[in-house]
Amino acid sequence: MENKKKFSFNYDLSNLPTYNSYGSDMLIKSILGLTLPKYATIRPNLKGTTEKVGFVTNDVILQDLSCGFNPTGDTTQNLVTVDLCNKKVNQQLCPTDLYDTYLSQSLSNSNFQEQVPFEEVILTDIANRIANQVEKQLWNNTVASGGTYGSACFDGVGALITSGNGATQIAYTASTASNGLDVFTSIYENIPSNVLHRDDLVIFTSYSNYRGLVSSMRNSSYVNLFTMDSAGAAEGEEWSLVLPGTNVRVIPTVGLDGVSAYYAGPASYYMVGMNADIMETRSVYDPFENIIKIQSMVTYGLGIFDVASFCVCK
């Protein structure tokens, strides 16, 4: 009689297939390509839920040349708190559903589809949509309620740049074809004078207000739009323009669409935090359920340096 073989099930998982990792490049590029991170200061390796970012400012006093050493002026250590969100996205795909949407030759010959056609397209779209949500949260989050997009782990620009925190505030007026240039000129006139010399001054606004400014400038007899180079925008750069006669760039963002506000000040004073170490997209095929599971992880957050250097209109 043949001896029965004994199989020992000892929970050895070493031979099970692991997930496929697509690294962090896809997510990082998507987020760095957003409007606010593109112009802000990026803090790339922040961990946990809160980080303190240090800055040094010096009060320099010029003295008459003489012998001896008489120290004057002060060095101030400044800290900016950058609060962070640690988020994930879980999605699953049923490969057999693709029979209805893609030609059969795009699928493998097997009845069990362990790979999804156009894999890069799908994962790139997921990364871009994550990035779009991050942009909106950077502007609209509130710790108190989570804001419109439901992440209460940090305050967005709207909650940080306020008159209560030291910013100069003026009343909001929507930009239209008849008043756009006047609206943005008024904002420029209220930017604190201590930063007017900087070369990174920006006014962030909604696309609606930006369109109003462009139409107003087009209608103005003393502004020549034909001298403005649009080739950069055609090559994928952010749509923007410099307010005539100033050093201030006006930049629209989807984060302010539907928001009655403008924010003006140094772009580098926006501190966008990330953690590149954990940002990646994973996928794995589950043969028992015949589904492909996709998971993306991302860390992002915001802090503002010297709120008193900003003008807010709302």
Element (H, E) at 160: helix 157-160
Residue 277 placed within a domain: yes
- Tally the domains of the chain: 1
pLDDT band at 149 (very low <50, low <70, confident <90, very high): low
Residue 6 placed within a domain: no
How far, rounded to the nearest angstrom, does the alpha carbon of residue 213 sit from its chain's CA centroid? 24
As given in the structure block, the two tokens for residue 25 are: 């490049």
Residue 294 placed within a domain: yes
Domain that holds residue 270: 20-55+77-313
**β-strand 168-170 against 311-313: which pairing, if any?**
parallel
Reduce the DSSP state of residue 273 to 3 states and report it: strand
**Range 32-60 average pLDDT:** 84
pLDDT over 80 (residue 138): yes
**Residue 250 contacts residue 203 (beta carbons within 8 Å):** yes
Residue 25 placed within a domain: yes
Residue 69 placed within a domain: no
Q: Report the CATH number at residue 236.
A: 3.90.1690
pLDDT of residue 103: 45
pLDDT of residue 17: 54
Residue 24 placed within a domain: yes
pLDDT band at 51 (very low <50, low <70, confident <90, very high): confident
DSSP 135: H
Residue-wise pLDDT for 151-191, tens only, equals: 788 999 999 999 999 999 999 999 999 999 999 999 999 99
pTM of the model: 0.80
pLDDT over 70 (residue 135): yes
Residue-wise pLDDT for 196-229, tens only, equals: 999 999 999 999 999 999 999 888 866 666 555 5
Residue 60 placed within a domain: no
Residue-wise pLDDT for 248-260, tens only, equals: 999 999 999 999 9
